Structure 1
Amino acid sequence: MEYRKLGETDLTLSAITFGAWAIGGWMWGGADRKEAVKAIQASYAEGVTSIDTAPAYGQGLSEEIVAEAIQGIPRDKVQLLTKFGLRWDVKEGEFFFKSKDAAGNDLDFYKLASKASVIKECEDCLRRLKTDYIDLFQIHWPDATTPIAETMEALALLQQQGKIRAAGVCNYSVDQMKEAAKTFSLASDQVPYSMVLRDIEKELVPYALENKKSIIAYSPLQRGLLTGKIKPGHQFNEGDTREGNRFYTDDNIKKVNAFLETLKPWTKEKNCSIAQLVIRWTIGQPAITVALVGARNAEQAVQNARAIDVKLPPGEIELINKQIAFML
């Protein structure tokens, strides 16, 4: 595994980090807890020491599963990344969207990042994760009802108290990053990034490079689309939000799969899967410190982690970029 420094902090993360959204079941059509625990443990055995989760992922379930999976591992050998600012238990802040829990009950989600809420959520996260500190605490989505400075002040306080080692944001624009920097030194911005979704390269990547901020890429496999395993007519489980998403229309699936066919000579040459090649490409891009990759079982986790063994020098990355530009 490769380990990379996060921004200007003293925090080092595994370049491939376990993304724990899917194991919470929420928006993914369910998950098996025992298999999820095995997936995290198998990932760790392959050198993946960092795990990214959030309270929203299963309304606390993902964090609880992570805590169960890392029992027995020395705390300083694993890095826990979690989030705050997406509440389903209060009706405060900025209304975000309607959803359902695993039992089918209606949930209203609000973006809330007030100082009091941030501090409360930190305590809740610490309890569910069964730890006394969080390595990276991140706002899940910007909250238009709370001044950014107020949120950053809460993070500074938590860092002073030793409850978090570093703080980052998710889904922040460059302007929001600049506003936050007036109050607190952020380590990172976690944003969606993949071969088929590269809009951050216009503004965020140059900003991150200039200001020594890390980018944590989520959904590098575009929620399974870039594995090549999703075919036109694919039936998603009930509650899986990929159903109806623009990336999963039959026409787009056909287009992406045609592109993935052009990558097969690379996979044969390097003796790897398409997914492994895509993961390796992602962490080879400018400013991308780590890629979050989820797994529902141990086999998937091991295969994801072994993407690090794929050798993809800059010249080959550029050739793949040309294929992407031509096909997509």
Structure 2
Amino acid sequence: METLDLNGNGVVASRIGLGTWAIGGWMWGGTDEAESIRTIQSAPDHGITLIDTAPVYGFGRSEEIVGKAVKQGGLRDKVALATKCALEWDAKERVARNATKNRILKEADDSLRRLGTDYIDLLQIHWPDPNVDMYETASAMATLREQGKIRAVGVSNFTPAQLDAFSEVTTIDVVQNPYNLFERQIDEDVLPWAQAHDTRLLAYGALCRGLLSGRMHADREFPGDDLRNNDPKFQQPRFDQYLAAVNELEQFAQDNYGKHVLDLAIRWVLDQYPHSVALWGARTPKQLEAVDNVWGWHLDEAARNQVKEIVDRHVVDPVGPEFMAPPARDA
């Protein structure tokens, strides 16, 4: 397993992190706690030492499951816990942004309790809040770092202008954004910012909600509240375009590396930027087995350009991850 430090603050993370949105159940058709705990506890067996969660993933459920798994498995000294803040929800599970100081400080304490720990390795602002001055948001995070409740500060889904404003108050150790073969928007803005500031990148959606897993087919149905029912990529005629790209990428991976499209997708994220971490969502231990196929090989620039050509040739009507953005609070 390749590792990196989260910007010189003593937090060392594996370059593949376990993403636990699905483990929370919300927008993923429910959860199996026992199976989720086994999944989390098996992650270090594959070299995964970063676990990424958030309060809104199941409205506390994901954090609670992560906390149980870490405690029962005696893993606290073996893993880095990353979580988020600055979203709120009501009794009807309606989510909105709230990056006020009071909300951030309260969420941090709630997360510490759910996770069963006295410090969080990485706390991230989940989404920027247009109704709150950036100074207030960043100052709250600086306070938590000074108090020793968090070791590193991150932000998620920020623009370069927002990153600049936040950085005037406190250092950003990590940026987290959607990044995968099909969602490359940050190549034009956030990734250059991270490179210029030597900032770490956590790439979420590295497999694009399973689209790059190699297991999707045109008649796949998604139960209940699964977010893919609202993802334009999974609606026709776009779905066929993305599946055609996946099929050719699978052949490319096999012909050139003896690998699969899933392996290729993760390796691409890691080779795009040496300070990146790819978040790998899993709900069963078996879904982590393929992690072992990512190490010991690389995609050079020529290969990455060829991969991009394959995607762009098939996906003639691309769409980004904008559908996932939660609204601002009502004024």
Task: Judge same fold: TM > 0.5, yes or no.
Answer: yes
1:232-285 deviation line (CA, Å, top 9, x unaligned):
232111111210321101322211221122222423543333212111111111
Aligned length: 313
2:320 maps to: none
Unaligned runs of 5+ in 2: 316-331
1:157 maps to: 143
1:318 maps to: 305
- Provide the C-alpha distance between the structure 2 equivalents of 1:173 and 1:28, rounded to a whole number of angstroms: 27
Residue identity opposite 2:26 in structure 1: W
1:304 maps to: 291
What is the DSSP-based 3-state SS (H/G/I as helix, E as strand, rest coil) of the residue aligned with 2:28? coil
Conservation of the 8 A alpha-carbon contact between 1:152 and 1:184: yes
Residue 290 of structure 1: which of 258, 277, 281 is its match?
Answer: 277
Conservation of the 8 A alpha-carbon contact between 2:29 and 2:223: yes
- Provide the C-alpha distance between the structure 1 equivalents of 2:240 and 2:296, rounded to a whole number of angstroms: 29
Alignment of 1:74-93 (within 5 A): 74-89=75-90
Identity %: 37
Conservation of the 8 A alpha-carbon contact between 2:138 and 2:166: yes
Name which of structure 1's ranges 219-228 and 279-288 shifts more when overlaid on structure 2. Answer: 279-288
1:181 maps to: 167
Change (3 A) 1:74 1:235: closer
Conservation of the 8 A alpha-carbon contact between 1:67 and 1:128: yes
Residue identity opposite 2:5 in structure 1: K
1:44 maps to: 44
2:24 maps to: 24
TM-score relative to the length of structure 2: 0.89
Alignment of 1:1-328 (within 5 A): 1-71=1-71, 72-89=73-90, 106-263=92-249, 264-286=251-273, 289-328=276-315
Conservation of the 8 A alpha-carbon contact between 1:6 and 1:188: yes
**Alpha-carbon distance, 1:185 to partner:** 0.6
Conservation of the 8 A alpha-carbon contact between 1:191 and 1:218: yes
1:32-76 deviation line (CA, Å, top 9, x unaligned):
111111111222111100000000001111011111111243523
TM-score relative to the length of structure 1: 0.90
Instruction: Supply the RMSD in Å over aligned alpha carbons.
Output: 1.7
Unaligned runs of 5+ in 1: 90-104
- Provide the C-alpha distance between the structure 2 equivalents of 1:266 and 1:51, rounded to a whole number of angstroms: 28
